Structure 1
Amino acid sequence: MQEQWQKIRKILENLMEAGPYKVWVAPVQATIEGRTLRLSTVSAFAARRLREQFEPLIREAAAVVLECEPSALTLEFAAQTAAAKAAPAPAPSVEDGSAAQALAAPVADMPAAMPAQQGLLPLGLAPMPKARPRFRFSFDDFVVGSSNEMAVAAARDVCKADGFVETLFVSSAPGLGKTHLAQAVGLTLQQGGEGARVGYLTAEELTSRFVQAVRQRDVESFREQMHQWDVLLLEDVHFLQGKEKIQEMVLNLVKSLQSRGGRAIFTSTFTPRELSRLDSQLVSHLSAGILAPMERPTQEMRREILQRKARSFQVMLPDEVGELLAGRLNGDIRQLEACLNNLAFKARLLHKRISPEMALEVLQQFAGAETVPDWDDIVALVCKIYGLSLRQLESRSRRQECVMGRNTIFYLARKHTDLSLAEIGDRLNRTHSSVIKGITSLERELARESSKGRQIARALDLIERNAGLNAAPRAASA
């Protein structure tokens, strides 16, 4: 059984680029029973990523070894149990892409032979892993264009010991590369030999660790550890809203960094001036340096993104198909990747080359033909999905379905229309701050991948596909 899996791995190693293979396939443990292949990864995130991005390729490789048709195979993807994680594994290197989970990983998730920390300090109280954060994204992977060149240039400058930029605030709608940019800075500092001590985490992870420190009555040690950092990479700072104690702690940390020439990058779905529930002093310090909003990629950038993604997916994307997809898909980068992934899967399933005709069939799932969605489209579909009326959404009801419906509308209107936060709130009898709170709450559930988060994700996907929202322009201020 293991011999068969080793043969499958060897085929995959020959078919895939070295980086993706080492990150996603090499650490996988597998069992084979008949024509059922069960793949066990270190986390639910890794299992989902392996299935979404590499299932067709794994299926083809397994079919060769097991001597059957790819369609006859059953593939199962799951995270390892705690016992399995504790057992020896061949050089595991898969990590969760989020800063929160990378820093919160239990010791058993880390390779036994991981070298000691060299200048990078993951946040956490003992017992915490000694391994440094692993960054999956680099500047080399980032497609630069007019919509993001200022943010990228500033982020690169942060990596220089003699750089001009000390504080950078990056804002954008979801899926446009904020995390990629933050991780690229972390990776550059990690590999540069500068010896900078880097803290990388989300605002929600910071909050969780602070609460843990309070419960353990070890707040001072917690503060001391953070004040050792030379560079702070703090994502999703809008999650700090309404948390006065955490805001005070972050303010002191940022002041300390800035007073001794340290550097910091903050990311958020909102611009600093929109964070009305953050302390004014904290907002002032967060925005003391370069403010760099990132917009949707241009068509030329989308074409380059698609070509790079195609290479990572191990598929040949004809120029005319790349041009077609780049012209039709005006959404975020996740949308480009999802469409290309579906196209590659269909081509492999049918054993055909990717063609414009096949691309047009797949495009029907992702973009409406010449559709310009508006507020009414969004509201109508949300009402239909959640079984609500406009009167209920406009009411003061706090029933769960009403709250979820409103928050979904806030999120989609922010992402796909040019309405300001105040205008979005006015239309449902809510304030500017209520809109921010609602979007933040929805993003938190999505990030946690809770049962509610999965329900919201399915609803968002269904609404966007039915309304052609992926083709809509985003507000310039996002």
Structure 2
Amino acid sequence: MKTQWLQICENLQNRLNPGTYKVWVAPLAATLEGDVIRLAAPNGFVATWVRDRLLGEIAEAAADVFGRAMEVTVEAGNPPAKTPRTAPARPAADGEARRARAPRPAAAPPLVTSAAEQLSLPITMPARQTHHWRYGFDTFVVGPTNDMAYAAARNMTRSGAAVDTLFLSSGPGLGKTHLTQAVGQALCEASNRSNPKVEYLTAEEFSSCFVQALQSRTVDRFKGRFRDVDLLLLEDVHFLQGKEKMQDEVLSTIKSLQEKGSRVVLTSSFAPCELRNVDNSLVSRFCSGFLAGIEKPDASTRRRILQEKAKLNNAPLSDSVVDLLADRLTGDIRQLESCVHNLLLKAKLLGCTISVEMAQEILAQYSLDDPFLDVDAIIRKVCEGFGLSPEQLASRSRKQNLVVARNTIFYLARKHTDLSLQDIGDKFSRRHSTVLKGIASVERELRRESPLGRQIAGTLAMLERG
């Protein structure tokens, strides 16, 4: 079983994000009894979490390794010992002596370093750090599609602010992180303390800290860290979907901060009403402050963004180049930034000025005028890019390449069409929550720049250029 379990773990490492694998799968130990794989978790909390959320993934990974369906069980404690086979004892007067001489059953050794052993080591949360903010309000370009979000974020940084909780939602690359960091930077600069109490992290990082606190029995310290702040900036809260224990902790944290007058900024790729498997009390807290959505910038705002990006790089663009780029590039802000950087790099390498002709050459590498007319066109392009058929994508298979391809379609459909999450899911007979989870998975890998994330980014670039 040792070899098979290592293969299953390798399979799961490809299926799961690194944080999930490290926290929940790596501590497990495994034994095999017929067609049953028995997993031992270090404690009941881990056993319940794995049983509720990962059992299907583990069973599929096991089926890939064994070539047949395997039953998987998860319990807390050490894996059960196996009794070695011995010849049956013959009835005899010295039967008790023979039983006394029989070898004792040996407990099966864990195949992965168990969390029980890891728990003997101190697990500490990183100390609060001084943040180095990349973005501020001075470089945020305001337009009709983001003016309410900007105004609300600005208001949070003023004394006696009307807004103490802000929920920002938008598609990727439209300015959520920029505004979030701008709030943190402004409040830190306005504080009369050298190191104001600010916590800035993603919901996934918050969850990892909480799990570490549970394992090291330092939950009180964890609560003291996150509930004793002046400002909490928590990104990607859609990660909390389906994670009941984490939702309870986030709810308690937000409630505590609101009661003491602290400020909270939350971001998500989805509005609160679009979230699924999130406790109603937590959604209510999300909605208790100001809700602000950010849409794609209009042409006028795109022109000013291009000018601002060029200015930051000390390479102003001519009006004709700016007009060309703003008219042809209608995607997110990252697309505009990428185009400017490519123009500047090409001009530097060639030792010439940026011209309209050069801009046209660069534009040939980008998706123009939202060429994806509908989700069917997106499906065709993804099938071509991944070498799959529409029938394979529509199947119930959970093989990694199919899952990544489906998630890529969900991501592109969300980005390039006006379809709802449910409409996108209907194309594959998937639930709204499955689509949301898939989009969040793509965003997470892109943000981490993991090997899978870089592969997805390359595929996205190829598809969008196509």
For normalisation by structure 1, the TM-score amounts to 0.69
SS at match of 2:180: helix
Tell me how far apart the structure 1 counterparts of residues 370 and 211 of structure 2 sit (CA, whole Å): 49
**Does the 8 Å contact 2:370/2:416 carry over to 1?**
no
CA displacement, residues 404-452 of structure 1 (integer Å, 9 cap, x when unaligned): 1111100100111011000000011101111011111222222222211
In the alignment, structure 1 segments of 5+ residues that lack a partner are 1-124, 467-478
Distance 2:258 2:414 in 1: 32
Structure 2 gaps, min length 5: 1-122
Q: Structure 1 residues 323 and 413 mapped into 2: Cα distance closer, same or farther (>3 Å)?
A: same
Partner of 1:193: 191
What's the secondary structure of 1:161's corresponding residue? coil
Superposed displacement of residue 372, structure 1: 5.1
Provide the secondary structure at the position in 1 that maps to 2:447. helix
What corresponds to 1:424 in structure 2?
424
Q: Which has the higher mean CA deviation after the structures are superposed, 141-150 or 223-232? A: 223-232
Q: Distance in 2 between matches of 1:301 and 1:464?
A: 22
Task: Please list the CA deviations of residues 119-157 of structure 1 after superposition, one character each: whole Å capped at 9, or x if unmatched.
Answer: xxxxxx856356411111100010001010000100011
CA distance in 2, matches of 1:328, 1:355: 16
Classify 1:127/1:268 alpha carbon distance in 2 versus 1 (closer, same or farther; 3 Å). Answer: closer
Offset, 1:320: 1.0
Task: Report the CA distance between 1:350 and its aligned residue.
Answer: 1.7
Deviates more, 1:218-227 or 1:445-454: 445-454
**Counterpart in the other structure of 1:33:** none
The answer to whether the 8 A contact 2:125-2:213 is kept is: no
Paired amino acid for 1:275: L
In the TM superposition, 1:250-269 aligns within 5 A as 250-269=250-269
Query: Offset at 1:197?
Result: 2.4
Measured at CA, do residues 456 and 190 of structure 1 come closer, stay the same or move farther in structure 2, by a change above 3 Å?
same
Match in the other structure for 1:160:
158
1:294 maps to which residue? Answer: 294
**In the alignment, which residue of structure 1 is the partner of 2:274?**
274
Which of these residues, 158, 165, 180, is aligned with residue 182 of structure 1? Answer: 180
What secondary structure does 1:456 align onto?
helix
Q: Report if the CA contact (8 A) 1:393-1:405 is conserved.
A: yes
CA distance in 2, matches of 1:294, 1:165: 18
Q: Any conservation in 2 of the 1:142–1:180 contact (CA below 8 Å)?
A: yes
Residue in 1 aligned with 2:70? none
Shift of 1:193: 2.1
Conserved? CA contact 1:161–1:194, under 8 Å = no
Match of 2:233 in 1: 233
Per the alignment, residue 285 of structure 2 pairs with 285
CA distance, structure 2, for counterparts of residue 135 and residue 269 of structure 1: 21
Q: Which has the larger radius of gyration?
A: 2
Q: Which residue of 1 aligns with 2:392?
A: 392
Post-superposition offset of 1:161: 2.1
* Residue 144 (structure 1) aligns with: 142
Partner SS for 2:424: helix
Question: What is the percentage of aligned positions where both structures have the same residue?
Answer: 53
1:309-347 deviation per Cα after TM superposition (whole angstroms, max 9, x unaligned): 112222231111011111111111110011111111111
- Distance between the aligned counterparts of 1:370 and 1:185, measured in 2? 32
Q: Measure the CA separation in 1 of the matches of 2:321 and 2:367.
A: 15
Change (3 A) 1:141 1:370: closer
Question: What SS does structure 2 have at the residue aligned with 1:311?
Answer: helix
Asked whether the 8 Å contact 2:124–2:216 carries over to 1, the reply is no
CA distance in 2: counterparts of 1:336 and 1:246, whole angstroms: 36
CA contact (8 A) 2:329 2:368 kept: no
**Aligned match for 1:169, one of 167, 170, 174:** 167
1:336 aligned partner: 336
In 1, Cα distance between equivalents of 2:455 and 2:428: 22
Q: What secondary structure, in the 3-state scheme, does the structure 1 residue paired with 2:199 have?
A: strand
Separation in 1, partners of 2:447, 2:368? 27
Report how far residue 403 of structure 1 moved: 0.7
Using the alignment, how far apart are the partners of 1:134 and 1:239 within structure 2?
Answer: 24
Q: How does 1:47-126 map to 2 (within 5 A)?
A: 126=124
Q: 2-side partners of 1:389 and 1:130: how far apart?
A: 49
SS at match of 2:414: helix
Q: CA deviation at 1:194?
A: 4.9
Say how many residue pairs are matched.
Answer: 342
2: distance between equivalents of 1:127 and 1:406? Answer: 36
Q: Distance in 2 between matches of 1:428 and 1:191?
A: 49
- Between the aligned partners of 1:316 and 1:130, the Cα distance in structure 2 is 39
1:444 alignment partner AA: R
RMSD (Å) for aligned C-alpha atoms:
1.5
1-side partners of 2:126 and 2:408: how far apart? 36
Deviation at 1:367, TM superposition (A): 3.1
**For residues 370 and 167 of structure 2, what CA distance do their matches in structure 1 show?**
35
Structure 1 position 301, deviation (Å): 1.1
Contact 1:316/1:354 (<8 A) preserved: no
1:368 positional shift:
3.6
Alpha-carbon distance, 1:463 to partner: 0.6
Q: Could you say what secondary structure the match of 1:393 adopts?
A: helix
| Partner residue in 2 for 1:450 | 450
